[in-house]
Amino acid sequence: MTMHPDEDDEGGTEPAPTSEEGAVERSPSAVTPAQAGVQSAPESRRILDSRLRGNDDATPFSTASEGEEGGTGKHPSLPAVLFFAALGVGVCALTYLAEVEPSSADPRMTTLQSDALRGVVAGVAALGLVLVVVLRRYRPALLAGRLRVVLKVAAALLVVVGSLAYFYVPRGVARGEYLNFHDLYHYFVGLKYYREVSYEQLYACHLEADRARPRPRYRDGDGVRDLLTYELRRAKEIRLGADCSTFTPERWREFGHDTSYFDGHMPRSTLLDQGYNGTPFHALVAGSLVESAEVDRRNLVLATFVDVLGLCALFAVLAWAFGWEVAFLVALFVFANLADFYFHVSYFRYWWLVTLGVGLACLQKRRYGLAAVFLVVSAMLNVFPLLFAAGIGLKILVSLVKERRLARHYKTFVAWAAAATVLCGAATMLHDRPIERYGTFFEKMQFHSRMLTPKRIGFRYNFLYRGAVTGDGPDTSFARRVAEQRPYQVPYAALVVVILLLGAAVVVRLDDVQATVLSGFLLFFMIFSTVAYYYACAALLVLLWAGELRRARGALLTALLFGLMAVVHVIWSATQARAFLNNTVLSAMFTIYLGVVLACFAHQTGRLGWLRDRARALAKR
């Protein structure tokens, strides 16, 4: 059933929700009459009402004349949706033609040049946003003419360049091998045989299959990770503990073929990794698609397109919900974000981000039931997206306490979230030994959450820096820096509490999309220190300013996000120190940006004055 944006998922038409002060709560793309500034009060009211009704003709950058001139009609986001559809198909088609047959060509550029290309994308995006702000302030007439068309075309070309710089160039051009066999081994083979090897037996059964070959690759003394304890042990010890009894003879022959194929393309050090780490739900969904797939180059190349098409579909959905400008900016930050060091060229690695972003788009369009479903699916795929429900959850709790009832759209959200959780949980029961698998998964996550490694980003790493950029000598070793961090645990914990309390005070005054994005990312960064790749979700910070891109503040704060990332690229090109990049530079960058965001929202919502008054009251006591 097609619903109007005003209609909730129960089929009724609902009035716009109100904030704590009783004012109409705007959507992220809304512009209040006060923000409209130069427009007349009736015109400002018309635009606000139009956007609250979900009228897509009023996009963040659009004007009345632009809507007429652009000929977009009732579906102004359709060209952007088609653009991203064409982008996804085009990237996949070009990659398939270039990579379906193995190439022995040498790399055509260095990895440093490849990284620099993504840095250029970040820098150009930042400068472009600043240019638009300057033109709106001093030469607004220029933006009403051909220059506007030129800027749109330039933005589209930048997205195309960024997509190639992210999806294909880092491996297909700079490394001479498109496929990431290391990651595909864990997320294709590991998923295909998840029913047989679960989380613990992938490496052990691999070694057992290798022993049956005429010329085994792994020697008894080779180091291999024990996926039961995460300790490094000799290959012979791991093989003796192998339990491959769940394989049928046919599946065992197939497993031997598949591991032999990968052994021909990946280094022995692959078995020093930590295995497959997806949730049982992720294994159920992604594994069911490849359980009977043959392992060859063509199928592996096709498997990588699952993520390419998923991300492009996300951008298309964001264009539908927020407008083409916001979708372009989110896409550009995904492409330029050095935290996600390179596109994994793997299988089903980014669908937690896809479903999370689609959930936010549904919130923007007031499809609260669908939003709840996609947020639950994202959390079931990767657990930590559950943090993004904290913002809307806090707003629901505050509303319930203050008004002693829930608004209809919040009731819809809670009901659909509960139903989706039950259904997804029931689906994972299709695994044999589902409880045991979930227990093993959470044991693995507990182990990962305690780790401090050079590959991670988080607020706590701001306390780890001791002036070293490169080197791992006795005075700069990572182990020593971790030990030196321990005395700072108390100030770290105190800062986390203060910042999260400020964030909670701010979040309840924001609209639902802003509250979801800010609370989720703030909790993720402040409390958890995860592998850098998960910070691909930083692109969702663009949505904080989706409703203010026509104002200088929104555009400049978005430009700041891109500008900081461009600086990160410059530092990386100068140091080439991965641990320094992740632990120090990127952790500091997100700390700075979140500090600016909290300060802006605290001022906007009046929480700075509220905190000042509370501090004075406490001082008098």
pLDDT in tens, 28-48: 334 443 443 344 444 433 433
Average pLDDT for 549-560: 94
The helix or strand, by DSSP H or E, that contains position 399, with its residue range, turns out to be helix 389-403
Per-residue pLDDT band at 482 (split at 50, 70, 90): low
Residue 415, pLDDT > 90, answer yes
Q: List b or e across 41-78, with b for residues whose CB sees 16 or more CB atoms inside 10 angstroms.
A: eeebebbbeebbebbbbbbbbbbeebbeebebeeebbb
Residue whose structure tokens are 């800062």: 495
Biggest CA-to-CA distance, the chain: 83
CA-wise closest residue to 550 among 35, 156, 34: 35
Residue 490, pLDDT > 80, answer yes
More confident call, 86 vs 101: 86
Asked whether 91 and 164 are in contact (CB, 8 A), the reply is: yes
Q: Give dist(CA 456, CA 448) in Å, integer.
A: 11
Average pLDDT for 144-168: 93
Per-residue pLDDT band at 187 (split at 50, 70, 90): very high
pLDDT at residue 471, as a whole number: 52
pLDDT at residue 108, as a whole number: 73
Angle at 80 between CA 78 and CA 86, to 5 degrees: 105
Give the three-state DSSP class for 498: helix
CA-wise closest residue to 262 among 179, 342, 197, 193: 179
Pure H helices in 241-367: 249-263, 280-290, 297-322, 324-336, 351-364
Q: Give dist(CA 126, CA 565) in Å, integer.
A: 9
Residue whose structure tokens are 């427009």: 39
Look up residue 444 and give its two tokens: 């693995």
Mean pLDDT is highest, among 275-284, 556-565, 600-609, for: 556-565
Average pLDDT for 206-210: 96
CB atoms within 10 A of CB 432: 10
Q: Give dist(CA 311, CA 95) in Å, integer.
A: 16
Asked whether 574 and 57 are in contact (CB, 8 A), the reply is: no
CA-wise closest residue to 440 among 187, 193, 201, 183: 201
CA torsion sign for 404, 408, 410, 416 is positive
Look up residue 361 and give its two tokens: 């788009």
Residue 342, pLDDT > 90, answer no
Least confident of 25-29, 230-234, 601-605: 25-29
DSSP-derived secondary structure for 350-379: SHHHHHHHHHHHHHHTT-HHHHHHHHHHHH
Q: List b or e across 243-271, with b for residues whose CB sees 16 or more CB atoms inside 10 angstroms.
A: ebebbeeebbebbbebbebbbebbeeebb
DSSP-based helix, strand, coil % in the chain, nearest 5: 70, 0, 30
Q: Give dist(CA 213, CA 140) in Å, integer.
A: 72
Q: Give dist(CA 24, CA 32) in Å, integer.
A: 10
Q: Give dist(CA 333, CA 394) in Å, integer.
A: 28
Residue 535, pLDDT > 70, answer yes
- Residue at 62: amino acid letter: S
Residue 265 is given by DSSP the state T
Residue 407, pLDDT > 50, answer yes
Give the three-state DSSP class for 481: helix
Asked whether 176 and 105 are in contact (CB, 8 A), the reply is: yes
Domains of the chain by residue range:
117-162+303-620, 181-295
Residue whose structure tokens are 């002693």: 404
Give Cβ neighbours of residue 612 (< 8 Å, ≥ 6 apart): none
Residue 527 is given by DSSP the state H
Residue 185, pLDDT > 90, answer yes
CA torsion sign for 416, 421, 426, 427 is positive
Q: What is the 3 state secondary structure string of 49-91?
A: HHHHCCCCCCCCCCCHHHHHHHCCCCCCCHHHHHHHHHHHHHH
Residue 475, pLDDT > 60, answer no
pLDDT at residue 131, as a whole number: 94
CB atoms within 10 A of CB 332: 29
The helix or strand, by DSSP H or E, that contains position 93, with its residue range, turns out to be helix 78-99
More confident call, 35 vs 544: 544
Average pLDDT for 373-396: 95
Q: Give dist(CA 207, CA 114) in Å, integer.
A: 36
Asked whether 551 and 346 are in contact (CB, 8 A), the reply is: no
pLDDT in tens, 581-608: 998 999 999 999 999 999 999 988 887 7
Per-residue pLDDT band at 172 (split at 50, 70, 90): confident
pLDDT in tens, 298-315: 999 999 999 999 999 999
Residue 292 dihedral angles phi and psi, to the nearest 5°: -110, 10
Tell me the pTM.
0.86
Q: Give dist(CA 311, CA 169) in Å, integer.
A: 17
pLDDT at residue 564, as a whole number: 97
Per-residue pLDDT band at 487 (split at 50, 70, 90): confident
Q: Tell me the average pLDDT of the chain.
A: 85
pLDDT in tens, 463-472: 887 666 755 4
The burial of 311, by beta-carbon neighbours within 10 Å (0-12 exposed, 13-18 middle, 19 or more buried), is given as buried
Per-residue pLDDT band at 74 (split at 50, 70, 90): low
CA dist 539 → 321, 331, 370, 475 (Å): 16, 8, 21, 36
Least confident of 142-146, 154-158, 376-380, 435-439: 142-146
Give Cβ neighbours of residue 150 (< 8 Å, ≥ 6 apart): none
Q: Partners of 531 in the beta sheet?
A: 456
